[in-house]
Chain A
Amino acid sequence: MQVPDDAVKISPEGQTLNIHLENVAVIDQGSFPAGTGTTPATASFDITYTKSGSSRHVRPTSHDPLSPFTWAGEMWMAMNSGNFSVKYNDTSFSAQGTFSSDFLPAGNFGEMGTERNGSFVEREDAENDDEANGEEHRTQKALINSGAIVSDPASAGETMAMSLRSSRARTLRAWKSKP
């Protein structure tokens, strides 16, 4: 569900993220995942996520739109803990409690960071394609203009620079074509 932006506070250095909501209208469906309950209630909670360790860069490794691996981002492992309360609108039930990812023996999985998925990743792919094609075109044109392809050999430095640009273009295309 959508909540106000100011319900979330991210620390200046991005190390923690806190979400605080009070008396949010919810429906208690009774069970998960196929609950059929429709009891109106309100919930309040306060949760803080804290990064740990170093980040990992995630790249899309599949072009299958239904795959879990079609996104890009930078993620950190994260701990989180919080408290909550819930109350039926008819006041017949209420409860409150606390929870934490710091669960023995190994702790529960959690992560936080930045993500791009869907069209934001496809757009990057397209931009990489355009960049790669443009780079190769410019390199070919430079080779022709410099005469490297036709007759006069370019200097060693020019040849090296053009080779690097061409190599970069190929690398970008190869990266894009990975399954």
Chain B
Amino acid sequence: MTVRRRLGYALCVLLVCSFPVWGQVEPVPIPGGDMLPPLFNQFFPGVGAGFDGLNADPHGITNFRGTVAMGYTNGTATDNKEKTYNVITDIRVYQGDYVGAEIGASGTAGASKSGKAHGTFVEI
């Protein structure tokens, strides 16, 4: 795992799960990741300093089987006051089957058990 400081997010919109949940089975994050710190359950595939290697796991969800697409980009943006920004993105898309967590037995504090599901996820 690498320690990395990521710079330059002039416009940084991190998404939180405020979107309606389609399934009852919650995906489980990969156990590893980069120490940013703290542990960020995500690797940064790529070659060269500051990346985790060509074959580093591009996924943020474990127990997953399906399609994945990811990439780093640069761009520009303009706000409603005509101010311009440099934009850096790392957007990842996952679609497929996964084994996630769902609530096991009633009468517990919410103890989990495994559940199979299919879903599409995006990380921005």
CA distance A40 to B14 in the complex (A): 11
| A169 touches B (CB below 8 Å) | no
Q: Give the residue name and chain of the B residue nearest to A58 (CB).
A: B55
List chain A residues, Cβ under 8 A from B67. Answer: 10, 17, 112-115
List chain A residues, Cβ under 8 A from B36. Answer: 33-34
**Chain A 85-98 against B: per-residue CB contact (8 Å), 1 yes, 0 no?**
01000000111111
Q: A65-B32, A94-B80, A115-B68 are in contact. Are A86 and B13 (CB under 8 A)?
A: yes
B123 to chain A, nearest CB (A): 8
Residue from B13, B53, B57 within 8 A of A41 (CB atoms)? B13
CA distance A44 to B83 in the complex (A): 20
List chain A residues, Cβ under 8 A from B80. Answer: 93-95
B72 to chain A, nearest CB (A): 4
CA distance A86 to B87 in the complex (A): 13
Q: Which of A60-95 contact B (CB under 8 A)?
A: 61, 64-71, 73, 78-82, 84, 86, 93-95
List chain B residues, Cβ under 8 A from A40. Answer: 18
Q: Count A interface residues, CB 8 Å.
A: 70
A75 to chain B, nearest CB (A): 8
B114 to chain A, nearest CB (A): 8
Q: A68-B43, A69-B53 are in contact. Are A4 and B72 (CB under 8 A)?
A: no
List chain B residues, Cβ under 8 A from A32. Answer: 6, 9, 12, 14
A12 to chain B, nearest CB (A): 14
Assess the A119–B93 pair: CB atoms within 8 A.
Answer: no
Assess the B22–A2 pair: CB atoms within 8 A.
Answer: yes
B57 to chain A, nearest CB (A): 5
Q: Which of B55-91 contact A (CB under 8 A)?
A: 55-59, 62-80, 85, 87, 89, 91
| B105 touches A (CB below 8 Å) | no
Assess the B78–A95 pair: CB atoms within 8 A.
Answer: yes
| B104 touches A (CB below 8 Å) | no
Assess the B73–A100 pair: CB atoms within 8 A.
Answer: yes
Q: Which of B109-123 contact A (CB under 8 A)?
A: 118-123
Q: Which of A93-108 contact B (CB under 8 A)?
A: 93-101, 103, 108
